[in-house]
Amino acid sequence: MGECKLDHSVEDVHKKLAEQAPFLPSSRVEQLQALFQTELSQDSLNKWFHLLKKYDLATPEERLKREEEMDQLLG
């Protein structure tokens, strides 16, 4: 994923999660819905947006990589 210079809002991230929810494990969707109710830095919002962006089109290998990055962000 390349670097994006656009800052994404909380609403952008919520919309992206809603779009990609059918393609994500339900436990992950629940985790993210709870996380996105908290205050996140702009950097975090941007990272989450890009991890979710086009998740449905990602190869299984790319999805696994994104899942690992999500786990790292979640701590």
Contacts of 2 (CB under 8 A, 6+ apart): none
pLDDT digits (tens, 9 = 90+) for 14-65: 999 999 999 999 999 999 999 999 999 999 999 999 999 999 999 999 999 9
Task: Decide if 53 is inside a domain.
Answer: yes
Give the pLDDT confidence score for residue 2 in this predicted structure: 52
pLDDT at 6: 86
Per-residue pLDDT for 4 more than 80? no
| SS3 at position 31 | helix
pTM confidence score: 0.90
Domain that holds residue 30: 10-74
The answer to whether residue 65 sits within a structural domain is yes
| Rounded Cα–Cα distance for residues 16 and 21 (Å) | 8
Looking at residue 1, what is its pLDDT? Answer: 45
Work out how many domains the chain is built from and give that number: 1
Residue 3 covered by a domain:
no
60 found inside a domain: yes
